[in-house]
Amino acid sequence: MSLSTIELELLETIFLNGTPIEAKQVANDSSIELSSVMVYLVELTRRGYVSSPQKDLYKATDEGKKALGVQPITKENAKTIVFYAPHDKAFNFYASVDKPLHVHAHSLQDFANKLSKVDLKAIEYHMDRNDFEVWFKCLGDQELAKKTKILKERKIVGEQLRLLLHTIVEQHCQELRKLTEQSTL
């Protein structure tokens, strides 16, 4: 059964957040009335696309991620994604075409750290070109690539873009670390 446009938007909002999110925040982030959001969340939960790990908190399930076109990250994928990338596979920040900033990110955590230091115009430049999404895919991280694509589709710009992207990558790094730690036990 396919998702309606509103269900898809709500699922993307929950997925983008990464951590369990309150229904009220889903309503704020999606600009849909809370009463309507609640009805859709009940249906999304019933269909297995979201779960409610705690009262009034919602998180995308593996089924929800699959509905968005994202395969859940396995422990093996997590190990590969968190590895330090050699210089030829590092993300290179540019101000514009042929104007390198000589700032390189060799891992997701390094990328998150560099986001706060790099010029905002460079972040917007790379977002417009889908460079972040492509790099994340090259690392094998379909989930982070999809989240970046959603940010772009929602036309988030400026400091809000920097803050959201940084938060998303930081949270994702924490999740990956947990997965890799579990696999070594």
pTM recorded for the entire structure:
0.89
pLDDT digits (tens, 9 = 90+) for 124-176: 999 999 999 999 999 999 999 999 999 999 999 999 999 999 999 999 999 99
> What pLDDT shows up at residue 111?
96
**83, 76, 73, 15: which is closest to 44 by C-alpha?**
15
Which residues, including other chains, have CB under 8 Å from residue 123's CB and lie 6 or more apart? 115, 161, 162, 165
Torsion of CA 6, 32, 159, 112, to 10 degrees: -50
What beta strand segments (E) does the chain contain?
Answer: 21-22, 50-51, 57-60, 91-96, 99-105
> What is the pLDDT at residue 185?
43
Structural domains for the chain: 5-67 (1.10.10.10), 75-183 (no CATH)
Q: What is the pLDDT along the chain (185 residues), one digit of tens a residue?
A: 689 999 999 999 999 998 999 999 999 999 899 999 999 999 999 999 999 999 889 999 999 999 999 998 888 888 888 877 778 889 999 999 999 999 999 999 999 999 999 999 999 999 999 999 999 999 999 999 999 999 999 999 999 999 999 999 999 999 999 888 864 44
Nearest Cα to Cα of residue 127 among 115, 143, 110: 115
The pLDDT score that the predictor gives to residue 182 is: 61
- What is the C-alpha end-to-end distance of the chain, expressed in Å? 39
Within 10 angstroms of residue 30's Cβ, the number of other Cβ atoms is 18
Greatest Cα-to-Cα distance within the chain, rounded to the nearest angstrom: 51
Name every residue whose Cβ is closer than 8 Å to that of residue 102 and which is 6 or more positions away in sequence: none
Type of residue numbered 154: R
Three-state secondary structure call for residue 93: strand
